[in-house]
Structure 1
Amino acid sequence: MVEQAVRPIVEAMLSHIPSGWTEAVMYARAGRHGSSVTGGYSPRRSGRHAGLPSPHEHLMALGEMLREEHGWEPASLEIRCRPTGEYRLVAFHDAITQVTGDGGFQVVLDPEYELPQPGLRQEPGTAAAAGDPELAVARFRRYLERRAEILGRPEQLPPPATEAAIQAAEQQLGHRIPADLRALYLLADGDRDHYLFPGNAWLSVASMAGEHLEWGAAQRPWYGWDLEWNAVVLDTVPADTVRRCGGHPGWLRFGSGEDGNFLAVDMAPARAGRPGQVIRTGRDYDEGPVYVTDSVTSLLGRCLELLEQGAYSVHGEHLYLEEPGAEHETQEIIGGNVPEEVPPTLQALHVNDVTGPVDLAPLTAAPRLRKLHLNRATTADITPVRELPVESLRVGLDGGDLSPLAGHAHLASLGLTTTAPVDLAPLRTAPQLRGLDLSGAERADVAVLAELPSLRYLALTLDQWSALLDKAGAPPALAAARLAGEEVTLDDALAWAARLGLDTDGALRLAGSLRE
C-alpha cells in the first residue's frame, strides 16, 4: 500500500529533472493540515534549473496512509531517487524534522517544554491605575459629538452592556476590566466596527472575552525550536513598563485591527507600568508589545487631539483616525558594520557580511542591547559583551576566547563559529544559558557541554555529536536538538536521535524501482 502511494511522488520528481543530475532528494511533511516540500537535485548548479515539484495530493494520500498504519500525524519523509528510477523512502513521525535553510534535522525530546518568556521574571508594577472613569466618560461623549459634527450625523453604537454581561466577561477574563474601560461599556457595548480607536474596532465585552479564551492564556505563539531557541523579546519604550512577553494572560484585548493585531489593557504591568495601561500586541508583535499610553482615559484624550488636528479621513459613512508617524527611538539596526555612534536605545544589532574583524567596543554605549548577531562576520574580542545585557549572541570568533562570557547573567543563547580551537569552559558559569549552536565551531572540546544542566537546545555536527555522546553523554535537560549539516540523511538523524533516547525502532524504510 505504502509503495503504491510513493510511486507517483517519485514519478513527479523524475518529471522535473534538470540535465546532468545524479540524485534527487525530497524532504516532506504530510498530515491533516497540509504538506510541505524542500530538497533538490544534485549536483547543484548555479543559475536557473528545475526545482522539486510539490505533489500535494500524492503527499496527502501518503500522509493519510501513514497516519492510519502508524499513527503518525504529521509524518516526516525523505525520498531519494536516481535516474534509473530506483528510489528509497524513509519515514517517521514529526518528532524528527528536516530543518530548512540551515540544513540538517531537528529532534524534539520534550514536546511539552517551551522556553519561558523573560517578562515572567520581571518585577511587577505597584503603581495605581491612571484611568479616571468620570473623565473617560466625559471624553468619550465629547469624542462622539465631534465625530458627529464632522460626519453630519451621530454614529449608531450598540446599546450598553449590562452589568451581568460585564461580570460574566470578567469571570472569563480572570481580571476585572479597568474602571475607565468598564465605564465605557456601560455606555455602549463596543462600536460595531466604527473604528473609534486609532486603527482598531472596539470589541464588545463578549468578543473581548472570546479573544481572551482563544489567545489570552498563551505567552506567545510557539514557532518551533529552530526559530525559538535564540528568539528575543525586546523591551518597550518607556523601558520596563510592559512585560517582555509576546503575549500574556493579563493582556485584555479590547480593540481589534482585524488583522491579528490588537489594542489591549495591561493588567500585569512591569515595574514602571500601571494597571490598565494600553498596549499593542498580536501577530506583528512577537518581538515585544508596544506601549501606547497609561490608560484608556488618556487614549480618548489622544483621539480628541487627533480630531482637533484634522488627523482623520472620511470614507463613505465611516471616519478613521490617522495617527501621524512618530519619531521612534532606534531599537534595531540591520546590516553593515557596528556604527561609529551607537544609539543608547539600541536593543538589537545584526552585523552582516563584513570583511575583516568587527570592533565591538562602540557597543558599550548601548546599555540595553539584548541581541547581537554577527552574520558572516567575525570579531577577535567579545570583551564588550561582558557588561551588556545581551541574551542572544551569534558570533564568529577569529581567535580570541569565551572568557568574557563567564558568569554572564543574561546570556540565554549562543551561536558560535570559530577559526581556531576555543575553550568552552566559561559557558559552565552562564546561569541563563538555554540554547547553543556550535556546529560552526569544529575545533572545540564539546565534552564540557554535558556539564550544562540548564541547556535545553543544542546544535552540533554529526562528528561533534559523536564526540560528545561517546565521551560524556548529552546535557541532562535537553528538550530539543539539531543535527547540523547539509549532507546528513534521515537515517543519520534516526540513529542520532536513538542515542539521545528517542525510540526510533518504528521508522519505516522502503526501497523500490519504477521499472519493477
Structure 2
Amino acid sequence: MVDQSIAPSSIHDFATWEPVLRLLRDRGAQAQADPSVHAAGRIGRRSWSLPVQRQVPAPGRAVQAADTREEFQAVERVQRGLVDAGLESISFTARISPAGEAALSLLGPSPAVESGIGTPHPGALILVEGAVPQPWRCLPDPVPGAVPAPSADPELLERTLRERLPDAVGATEAEISAAEARLGITLPEELKALYRVTRSRWEDRTDDYEAVVRHVTVVRCELFPLDDLYVADAASRRCPWRFAAKEAVVTPPDATVQGLVGSPGWIVFGDNGGGDRLALDLTPGPRGHVGQVIMLSHEENIGAALVADSLTDLVMGRLSEPTGGPAGHERPAVAHVNIRSLPGIEAAAHPRLEVLSIGVWEAEPLSLAPVAGLPRLRTLSAYPGTLADPLEIAGLTGLEFLELGPREWRVLLDAGAVPPGLSAAAITVQHDQSPLSIVALANELLALWDRPQIIRTVLEGDLGPVS
C-alpha cells in the first residue's frame, strides 16, 4: 500500500473530517470486545455510506429532516472538500481510541481504479489504460437488403403533426442542417419531417400545461430539441467494468434489433418520461427495418426493444409487440453457475461461452477443467471459496476480465500465475474484510501492470473525550 500525500486541499484537513469522526464515535456500530471504534465508509458528492445507527421514527411517523440533520451537516463538510480537491468520491477507514485519538486513512484516488458501489472497497482495476470490455467494442453487423418499413411516410407524418399541433414552432432547414453537421450523419426523412413541425424548444413552450401534455401525447414521447439529439454509440452507455464484462452481444437470426450496447446508427430523439430513450435505428437486426423506433432501457446495459416499425407508426399509435432487450438471456454466451441456475461447470461448457459467473455454491468446490481452452471465454467471475484450484485459471488463456475473492488472488499472486492478458480485474469482498487489506491486494495487482496505485493518506487528530 502507498502511504503518501497528494495535492493539498481541505479534503486532507483533519478538521474537515472531524464532524464525521465524532458521528462515527457517538453513533457508530462497534465490537463490544474492543473499546476503540473501527469504521469504514465512502462519501461522494451526492451520496454517502456511513456505518452509523440512525434513529428509528415512532410508529406512524415518517423520517423527518431533523432526524438526519447531524449526519447531513457532517457529510456536507466533506463533500465541499471533495469539490475543492476535484474528486467525485473518497473511501476511508478510521480508528478512534476511547480517549479520542483518531487515525483516519483516506484511500484514493487512482485513475486506474473504478469507484466501488456503496462500499469503501475499490471497484474494478483497469490494468490496461483505456481498455473497455469486449461488448463495448462491438459494432453492428451489416444487414444487406434492409430497407425502411412500408409504413414510413414522411409526408403523412408531417401533415398529421401539423393538424394535431397547429401552434407548434418548427425547425428551419438551417437548424436541421446544423444538427446533421454536429452529429456527422444525415437525419432520416421522417425525423426531419417531425422537426419541421416542432423543434421542441423550451422557449417555444407556454405556461399552458394542457398544451405541453398535448405535445407529448401527439409525439408520443418527450421530444428532445435538435441540439440534444445524440448518437447512442457504445461509449454513450457507460457501465462499470465488473458489470459490463459480464454482458455479451448476441443477435439471433430472427431479431429485429441487434443485441448491441450501442450503435453509430442509433439516433436518440426523445424520452418516454421514465428515463428510457427512444431512438431511430439505422442499423437494424436481420428482421428489422431501417428507421424503426427502438427503446433503450435505463435499467439495462445492453440491447434495445422495438417500439414501432417507423416514426410514422409511432405517431399514429401503431406500436409493435414488445421485443428486444438481452436476447434469450444471452445463452450459451453467458452462463451462471450457482445454487439456482446451472448445476455445474460441465453444464456451462460450450464453444460459444464468453462469460462464466460462479455464484453462491453449497456443494464441493468446482474444477475449471471443463472450460479450459474454450476459444471465446473472456470473463470469469468466481465467488470466494467456489474454486477447487485457482491455479486452473492458467488454462483459460483468453481472459480479459477476472473477478475473484482475496484468497484466490493471493494464490495466483504467490504462484506468479496472474493471467498476463487481463485488461481489468476485480476483488470480490465479503463484508467483514478490511478495506486496507483489500487496497493492499489491489495495489499488488496494479503493480504487475505498472498502473497508478491507490494512494493512502493518513490524518491524525484528537477528538477529546466523550462529553
Q: Where on the TM-score scale, by shorter chain, does this alignment land: which range?
A: 0.7 to 0.9
**Does residue 514 in structure 1 map to residue 463 in structure 2?**
yes
Give the percent of matched residue pairs that are identical in Structure 1 and Structure 2: 22
Give the structure 2 partner of residue 75 of structure 1: 90
The one-character-per-residue Cα deviations of 1:43-64 (angstroms, maximum 9, x if unpaired) are xxxxxxx999453123225546
**Does residue 166 in structure 1 map to residue 181 in structure 2?**
no
Give the structure 1 partner of residue 7 of structure 2: none
**Quick check: 1:13–1:53 contact (8 Å CA) kept in 2?**
no
Tell me how far apart the structure 1 counterparts of residues 337 and 238 of structure 2 sit (CA, whole Å): 21
Q: Residue 240 of structure 1: CA displacement?
A: 2.0
Instruction: Work out the number of aligned pairs and report it.
Output: 416
SS at match of 2:134: coil
Give the structure 2 partner of residue 9 of structure 1: 20
Q: Residue 18 of structure 1: CA displacement?
A: 5.8
**Quick check: 2:158–2:197 contact (8 Å CA) kept in 1?**
no
Cα 1:20–1:483, aligned 2, differ >3 Å: closer, same or farther?
A: closer
Give the structure 1 partner of residue 430 of structure 2: 485
Tell me how far apart the structure 2 counterparts of residues 180 and 399 of structure 1 sit (CA, whole Å): 46
1:176 to 177, 183, 186: 186
Give the structure 1 partner of residue 100 of structure 2: 85
1:37 to 49, 52, 56: 49
Cα 1:391–1:119, aligned 2, differ >3 Å: closer, same or farther?
A: farther
Tell me how far apart the structure 2 counterparts of residues 469 and 19 of structure 1 sit (CA, whole Å): 33
Q: Which moved more, 1:449-458 or 1:473-482?
A: 449-458
Cα 1:85–1:225, aligned 2, differ >3 Å: closer, same or farther?
A: farther
SS at match of 1:429: coil
**Does residue 439 in structure 1 map to residue 451 in structure 2?**
no
**Does residue 273 in structure 1 map to residue 280 in structure 2?**
no
The one-letter code matched in structure 1 to 2:413 is L
Pairs within 5 Å for 1:33-432: 33-39=45-51, 53=71, 55-63=74-82, 67=85, 74-95=89-110, 99=116, 105-110=122-127, 112-117=130-135, 120=138, 123-130=141-148, 135-142=153-160, 144-145=162-163, 147=164, 155-159=166-170, 161-162=172-173, 164-186=174-196, 189=199, 194-195=215-216, 197=218, 199-203=220-224, 207-212=225-230, 216-231=232-247, 239-257=254-272, 259-281=274-296, 283-284=298-299, 286-300=301-315, 302-303=316-317, 369-370=328-329, 388-396=331-339, 401-418=344-361, 419-432=363-376
Tell me how far apart the structure 2 counterparts of residues 392 and 99 of structure 1 sit (CA, whole Å): 24
Give the structure 1 partner of residue 60 of structure 2: none
SS at match of 2:123: strand
SS at match of 2:177: helix
Structure 2 spans left out of the alignment, 5+ residues:
1-11, 54-66, 205-211
Cα 1:426–1:88, aligned 2, differ >3 Å: closer, same or farther?
A: farther
**Quick check: 1:104–1:487 contact (8 Å CA) kept in 2?**
no
Q: Which moved more, 1:431-440 or 1:393-402?
A: 393-402
**Quick check: 2:148–2:291 contact (8 Å CA) kept in 1?**
yes
**Quick check: 1:246–1:281 contact (8 Å CA) kept in 2?**
no
**Quick check: 1:105–1:484 contact (8 Å CA) kept in 2?**
no
Question: Which protein has greater RCO, CA pairs closer than 8 Å, 6+ apart?
Answer: 2
Q: Residue 417 of structure 1: CA displacement?
A: 3.9
Give the structure 2 partner of residue 309 of structure 1: none
**Quick check: 1:90–1:509 contact (8 Å CA) kept in 2?**
yes
Give the structure 2 partner of residue 340 of structure 1: none
Cα 1:83–1:442, aligned 2, differ >3 Å: closer, same or farther?
A: farther
Cα 1:125–1:273, aligned 2, differ >3 Å: closer, same or farther?
A: farther
**Quick check: 1:170–1:209 contact (8 Å CA) kept in 2?**
no
**Quick check: 2:250–2:258 contact (8 Å CA) kept in 1?**
no
Cα 1:107–1:160, aligned 2, differ >3 Å: closer, same or farther?
A: closer
Q: Residue 104 of structure 1: CA displacement?
A: 5.1
The one-character-per-residue Cα deviations of 1:473-506 (angstroms, maximum 9, x if unpaired) are 3222141311422222232123212221145484
- If the length of structure 2 is used for normalisation, what is the TM-score? 0.74
Higher strand share: 1
Tell me how far apart the structure 1 counterparts of residues 180 and 290 of structure 2 sit (CA, whole Å): 15
The one-character-per-residue Cα deviations of 1:392-451 (angstroms, maximum 9, x if unpaired) are 524239997523434430332413444213221233333333332223334521112244
- If the length of structure 1 is used for normalisation, what is the TM-score? 0.67
Structure 1 spans left out of the alignment, 5+ residues:
42-49, 148-153, 306-322, 333-346, 348-367, 372-387
Cα 1:101–1:245, aligned 2, differ >3 Å: closer, same or farther?
A: same
